[in-house]
Amino acid sequence: MPDVLLSENINGEAVKALSQRFHVTFLPDLWKDPPALLRCIPDFRALIVRNQTQVNRALLDAAVRLEVVGRAGVGLDNVDVKAATERGILITSTPDQNAISVAELAIGMMLSLARRIPAAHEDTRAGNWNRQRFCGTELHGKTFGIIGAGKIGYLTACRAKAFGMKILAYDPYLSCDNVYLSELAGELVSLEVLLERSDVVSCHMPSTPETAGLLNAGMFGRMKPSALFINTSRGEVVAEADLAEALRAGILAGAALDVRAKEPPTAGVLEDAPNILLTPHIAAFTDEAQNRVTRAICEDIARVLDGQPAQNSVNRVSKN
Ligand code: NAD
């Protein structure tokens, strides 16, 4: 009888180890075919997903044997936790395991934008030698604003601090005596103040009804024309057409996005916007982070299937 279904591309040593103890079915493209997933889910005790498989109420209702869903990564926007809890299905995830990699990409994006590295590279590859054209901006002494001061926001701010930047944070759920923020001599401010004072704004909040489209024309209008905008959190937090317009109108100097409102995106307004840097949701895609994430989720799934408590459950379910 099958035990574990992997409906996205999750592999490595930890999956092999899990396969030695349980019957594991690896169907990395299944997330693209929700009716097929719905047909096969009744057979499984555990489901492991990334952020593409829609673990919605209909799927959970059909999952008659399912005990646990493992979300390999952070962010539960594709998992209906309420429906899972009502059905007694445990949800586990892997907080912390990819945070350093995401922070490193955010910093890479900041450096790329401030020094126009991708544009200078393309121009030089084309046979040019335009030194004046690629005069950039120094980061030392500038202000780095994080929207969402959780794990990734903090790790990104630590790295920005190492460049000699001042730290501002907006997070409605953080108190101003937060120890991590104090460590960075960071200042907790309103969103409006953060946008007005920051030279670089980096988003690290979750996708929620409250954050949907939070960064829109009105908010971009508050930023300095020299400011850089970075989003490695979730695409839904940005009104993409407003961002493209802000770049075209020179309201913002540059933007970098790892995440999009729809993934993969249909070619739209952003691809042609000036001073934009786009990556295909790769912030957590380093060998190190993926190994940690896969190991953490496989170990938690094994614990649950063995009748042990999960280490990183996000809901509480009662056992019959
Ligand atoms: P976290 O839960 O540790 O931190 C999120 C922070 O956002 C919390 O401090 C919370 O209080 C704050 N927040 C909540 N609502 C807010 C609001 N309305 N405005 C401002 N702040 C708000 O999460 P994390 O692990 O730091 O992850 C941050 C984000 O990064 C999430 O959206 C996650 O999905 C995303 N992420 C992206 C990738 C990627 O590959 N690009 C990988 C991992 C995580």
pLDDT in tens, 46-94: 999 999 999 999 999 999 999 999 999 988 999 999 999 999 999 999 9
Using DSSP's 3-state secondary structure scheme, residue 290 falls into helix
In a 3-state reduction of DSSP, which class is residue 187? strand
pLDDT(158) > 80: yes
Span 124-142, pLDDT tens digits: 999 999 999 999 999 999 9
Pocket of ligand 1 (CB under 6 A): 73-75, 95, 98-99, 102, 147-153, 170-174, 204-208, 210-211, 232-234, 258-259, 281, 283-284
Q: Which fold has domain 99-278?
A: Rossmann fold (3.40.50)
Alpha carbon nearest to ligand 1 atom 15, residue? 205
Q: Are 251 and 221 in contact (CB under 8 A)?
A: yes
The phi and psi torsions of 24 (rounded to 5 degrees) equal -105, 130
Are the C-beta atoms of residues 211 and 239 closer than 8 Å to each other?
no
Q: Which residue is it, tokens 């190991």?
A: 295
Instruction: Give tens-digit pLDDT for 278-292.
Output: 999 999 999 999 999
Using the atom order of ligand 1, give the atom closest to the CA of residue 237: 32
Which pair of structure tokens corresponds to residue 16? Answer: 């092999």
Q: How many whole angstroms separate alpha carbon 159 and alpha carbon 101?
A: 12
- The number of CA neighbours under 13 Å toward the Cβ of 234 is 21
Q: What is the 3-state secondary structure (H, E, C) of 201-212?
A: EEECCCCCCCCC
**Best residue for ligand 1 mutational test, from 50, 96, 102, 285 (most atoms within 8 Å of Cβ):** 102
* Atom number of ligand 1 nearest to Cα 174: 11
End-to-end CA, the chain: 22
Sign of CA dihedral 315, 259, 257, 211: negative
**C-alpha–C-alpha distance, residues 56 and 300, integer Å:** 21
Q: Give yes or no for a contact between 14 and 52, defined as CB atoms under 8 angstroms apart.
A: no
C-alpha 216 to ligand 1 mean position (Å): 18
Ligand 1 nearest atom to the CA of residue 96, by list position = 25
Calculate helix-pair angle for 99-115, 117-125, nearest 10 degrees: 60
Torsion angle of the four alpha carbons 3, 5, 10, 14, in this order, in degrees rounded to the nearest 10:
0
Residues 298-314 have pLDDT tens digits of 999 999 999 999 999 99
Q: Residue 145 carries which side chain, given as an amino acid letter?
A: G
8 Å CB contact between 143 and 168: yes
Task: Quickly list H helices, 172-273.
Answer: 179-183, 191-197, 217-220, 240-248
Residue ranges matching CATH 3.40.50.720 in the chain = 4-97+287-305, 99-278
Residues annotated as part of the active site: 234, 263, 281
Residues 6+ apart with CB under 8 A from 179: none
Q: What pLDDT is stored for residue 318 in this prediction? A: 79
CATH class of residue range 4-97+287-305: alpha beta
Which tens digit of pLDDT belongs to each residue from 235-286?
A: 999 999 999 999 999 999 999 999 999 999 988 889 999 999 999 999 999 9
